[in-house]
């Protein structure tokens, strides 16, 4: 009995110690500064004094010099910060759209309902959670508020500047500082319109007297676009200089508010037990590639962002890390610093080991190695995907089937695309990019097994009941390489099929055709001929390896019998067809409320 009592006591002490170690002791504040270019901060080498307070934070923390966002606009980027998933996986901001370039205001899907957010994970561990939101693209309709006990937006989306946001955030901290908390402070001031208050409106270009008056917004840009495009005109160059000065004024104004927030944490004696993460969702373009603002490309001026971690006494101070990291890494890093486990899937990895000089372990379930950054989900124009592993970068325009490749070391401004056929590294990058596209999106997989056999194969795909839909497909060999000339964008219409014909085909290994349809849950008809015959004996569907009842046959992504790859492959030769499901979650674009719609219209997002 005594031995049992001692054992029980020992276990009780161990359990209590475990609870103490796992109990939340460190607060979390994520400072998200919307539309903040990394290269417009002093701590990232900018010549103007735009960010003295952020620079001070950086000098006492860890600065990641090469952080890559997943998207060039707000909703999908912050959804990734809160989920450690790519937009195609969490779906926030992803458009189910036709081959036509989508119109302004098509904001896509809300966050999937079956994805755990950082706020939910921390709330379940006893954290008080609150967000101060200033951009309508993060409104509740998009479901990124899940897990936040308080999600505070301005009444009727009236303008709430950085100072007012900070005052309200500090008041919230003051009333919640006795328990662990997670606070997300979203500053929106660097976003258009650029209209910083005095003296920030004239601080960087005080002598300007040209046509840009009383600030600058999207509507003003559209009205003056023709004139502003003539950069040979000295007056136009002066106008752009002033526009950038107004943008920098907004950054400086926001920096003053960040200084207030950091000072408030010190006054509350919370600075040594509060993890600060400062980041941006995306950057801003000022004719870097002949465009303005954001949401339309995946060049570095839009997807390279600042990322700073600070926790005095627990994280290194004054450290700068050159290795490429990603916004998808923020959530796993935060959880490891806070010593909180999460069983949900995360595509990112913790950067804590990198901060401590100990190296970084690869995420076991991640689609990409940690030194590859993936970006997608443009808001305007044709859909684009990008993959970066320094110094190489590849951008693929899905709808135009156009590839651009860059060496960022020799061409950091991305002005001189290089030819992939002359570079084996970029050929492999293309393979990795297309593999990532299909690995992170719901798609049809058509596997062809026939080693030692020679046959003719004809595969026809047809969209049913929809017109103008498009599909991307790639043919991969057994090593995951894209077969030459087999990356295609087809329009699936009732009057025109997408056709793959392989004549006298003798595969050396398993060959897989991956197909994306958009909208992804539209009905797709398959018509398969092997050696000129329609026979279902060699065709298998889903993990149940069922034969089609007839040929042609049709499915949608919600068809359960076609879901999942089987554990074993049929006897060769075979054609195996299955889909990778999206899982639970909304498949319809978000229904935007009237107040949110009014704010988005005022910002120029919708017409």
CA distance linking residue 280 with residue 334, whole number of Å: 16
* pLDDT at residue 22 is higher than 60: no
pLDDT band at 486 (very low <50, low <70, confident <90, very high): low
Which comes out higher in pLDDT, residue 451 or 590? 451
344, two tokens: 């949900």
Please tell me the predicted confidence (pLDDT) of residue 515: 86
Please tell me the predicted confidence (pLDDT) of residue 507: 84
* pLDDT at residue 606 is higher than 70: no
Identify how many contiguous H helices and E strands the chain contains and give both numbers. Answer: 13, 25
Task: Evaluate whether 436 touches 480 at the Cβ level (below 8 Å).
Answer: no
In the predicted model, what is the mean pLDDT of residues 180-198?
A: 97
In the predicted model, what is the mean pLDDT of residues 57-77?
A: 97
Mean pLDDT of the residues in the chain: 87
In the predicted model, what is the mean pLDDT of residues 309-327?
A: 96
203, two tokens: 């601080």
Please tell me the predicted confidence (pLDDT) of residue 344: 85
> Which residues, 6 or more positions from 213, have their beta carbon under 8 angstroms from its beta carbon?
none
* pLDDT at residue 12 is higher than 70: no
Backbone angles phi, psi at 115, to 5 degrees: -100, 130
pLDDT band at 94 (very low <50, low <70, confident <90, very high): confident
Please tell me the predicted confidence (pLDDT) of residue 18: 42
Q: What residue has token string 């962002």? A: 305
In percent, how much of the chain has pLDDT > 70?
Answer: 86
CA distance linking residue 540 with residue 309, whole number of Å: 51
In the predicted model, what is the mean pLDDT of residues 43-49?
A: 97
* pLDDT at residue 420 is higher than 70: no
519, two tokens: 């909208």
* pLDDT at residue 96 is higher than 90: no
pLDDT band at 509 (very low <50, low <70, confident <90, very high): confident
CA distance linking residue 504 with residue 458, whole number of Å: 11
Burial call 161-189: b when 16+ CB within 10 Å, e when fewer: bbeebbebbbebbeebbeebbbbbbbbbb
* Host H or E run for residue 53: helix 52-59
In the predicted model, what is the mean pLDDT of residues 466-475?
A: 70
pLDDT band at 99 (very low <50, low <70, confident <90, very high): very low
Please tell me the predicted confidence (pLDDT) of residue 405: 93
CA distance linking residue 334 with residue 302, whole number of Å: 24
Which comes out higher in pLDDT, residue 386 or 159? 386
Q: What residue has token string 């917004």? A: 217
Please tell me the predicted confidence (pLDDT) of residue 21: 43
* pLDDT at residue 586 is higher than 80: no
In the predicted model, what is the mean pLDDT of residues 458-486?
A: 75
Highest mean pLDDT, choosing among 218-232, 423-437, 581-595: 218-232
Please tell me the predicted confidence (pLDDT) of residue 422: 61
Which range has the worst mean pLDDT, 92-101, 192-201, 244-253, 558-567?
92-101
Cis peptide before 184 (omega within 30 of 0): no
Cα 64 → chain centroid: 18
Please tell me the predicted confidence (pLDDT) of residue 581: 66
CA distance linking residue 473 with residue 458, whole number of Å: 15
Which range has the worst mean pLDDT, 176-190, 361-375, 384-398, 579-593?
579-593
pLDDT band at 400 (very low <50, low <70, confident <90, very high): confident
| 215-239 pLDDT per residue, tens | 899 999 999 999 999 999 999 999 9
Closest CA to 84 of 446, 273, 349: 349
* Host H or E run for residue 79: helix 74-83
Please tell me the predicted confidence (pLDDT) of residue 597: 67
Burial call 508-521: b when 16+ CB within 10 Å, e when fewer: eebbbbbbbbbbbb
* pLDDT at residue 605 is higher than 50: yes
Closest CA to 565 of 582, 546, 580: 580
SS (H, E, C) 235-283: HHHHHHHHHHHHHHHHHHHHHHHHHHHHHHHHHCCCHHHEEEEEECCCC
pLDDT band at 105 (very low <50, low <70, confident <90, very high): very low
Please tell me the predicted confidence (pLDDT) of residue 469: 64
Q: Cα–Cα distances in Å, from 330 out to 416, 524, 592, 606? A: 32, 38, 28, 31
Please tell me the predicted confidence (pLDDT) of residue 569: 86
> Strand 181-187 vs strand 373-375: parallel, antiparallel, or unpaired?
unpaired
Please tell me the predicted confidence (pLDDT) of residue 14: 41
């Amino acid at each position: 009995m005594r031995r049992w009592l001692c054992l029980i006591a020992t276990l009780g002490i161990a359990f209590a110690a475990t609870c103490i170690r796992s109990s939340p002791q460190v607060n979390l504040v994520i400072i998200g500064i919307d539309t903040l270019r990394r290269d417009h901060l002093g701590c990232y080498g900018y010549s103007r004094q735009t960010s003295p307070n952020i620079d001070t934070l950086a000098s006492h923390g860890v600065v990641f010099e090469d952080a890559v966002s997943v998207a060039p606009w707000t909703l999908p980027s912050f959804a990734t910060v809160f989920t450690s998933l790519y937009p195609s996986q969490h779906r926030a901001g992803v458009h189910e759209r036709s081959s036509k370039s989508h119109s302004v205001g098509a904001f896509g899907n809300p966050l999937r309902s079956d994805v755990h957010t950082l706020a939910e994970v921390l709330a379940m561990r006893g954290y008080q959670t609150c967000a101060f939101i200033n951009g309508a693209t993060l409104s509740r309709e998009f479901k990124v508020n899940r897990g936040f006990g308080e999600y505070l937006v301005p009444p009727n989306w009236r303008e709430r500047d950085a100072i007012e946001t900070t005052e309200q955030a500090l008041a919230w901290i003051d009333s919640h500082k006795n328990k662990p908390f997670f606070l997300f402070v979203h500053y929106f001031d660097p976003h258009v319109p650029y209209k910083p208050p005095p003296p920030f409106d004239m601080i960087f270009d005080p002598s300007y007297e040209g046509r840009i008056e009383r600030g600058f917004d999207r509507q003003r840009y559209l009205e003056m676009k023709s004139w502003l495009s003539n950069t040979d005109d000295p007056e136009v160059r002066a106008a752009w200089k002033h526009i950038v000065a107004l943008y920098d004024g907004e950054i400086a104004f926001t920096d003053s508010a960040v200084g207030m927030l950091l000072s408030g944490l010190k006054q509350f004696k919370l600075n040594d037990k509060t993890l600060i993460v400062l980041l941006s969702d995306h950057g801003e373009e000022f004719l870097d590639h002949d465009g303005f603002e954001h949401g339309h490309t995946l060049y570095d001026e839009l997807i390279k962002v600042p990322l700073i971690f600070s926790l005095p006494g627990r994280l290194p101070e004054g450290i700068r890390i050159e290795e490429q990291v990603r916004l998808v890494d923020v959530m796993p890093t935060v959880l490891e610093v806070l010593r909180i486990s999460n069983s949900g899937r995360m595509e990112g990895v913790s950067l804590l080991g990198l901060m401590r000089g100990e190296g970084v372990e690869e995420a076991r379930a991640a689609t990409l190695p940690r030194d590859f950054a993936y970006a997608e989900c443009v808001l305007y124009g044709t859909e684009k995907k990008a993959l970066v592993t320094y110094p190489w970068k590849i951008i693929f325009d899905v709808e135009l089937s156009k590839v651009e490749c860059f060496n960022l070391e020799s061409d950091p401004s991305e002005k001189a695309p290089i030819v992939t056929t002359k570079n084996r590294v970029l050929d492999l990058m293309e393979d990795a990019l297309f593999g990532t596209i299909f690995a992170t999106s719901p798609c049809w997989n058509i596997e062809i097994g026939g080693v030692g056999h020679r046959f003719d194969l004809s595969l026809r795909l047809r969209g049913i009941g929809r017109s103008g839909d498009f599909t991307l497909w790639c043919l991969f060999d057994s090593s995951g390489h894209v077969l030459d000339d087999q990356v295609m964008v087809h329009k699936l219409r009732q009057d025109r099929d997408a056709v793959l014909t392989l004549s006298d085909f003798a595969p050396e290994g398993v060959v897989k055709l991956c197909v994306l349809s958009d909208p992804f849950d539209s009905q797709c008809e398959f018509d398969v001929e092997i050696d000129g015959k329609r026979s279902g004996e060699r065709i298998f569907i889903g993990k149940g390896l069922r034969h089609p009842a007839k040929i042609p046959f049709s499915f949608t992504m919600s068809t359960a019998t076609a879901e999942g790859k089987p554990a074993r492959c049929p006897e060769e030769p075979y054609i195996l067809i299955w889909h990778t499901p999206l899982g639970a979650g909304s498949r319809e674009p978000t229904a935007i409320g009237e107040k949110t719609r009014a704010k988005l219209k005022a910002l120029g997002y919708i017409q």
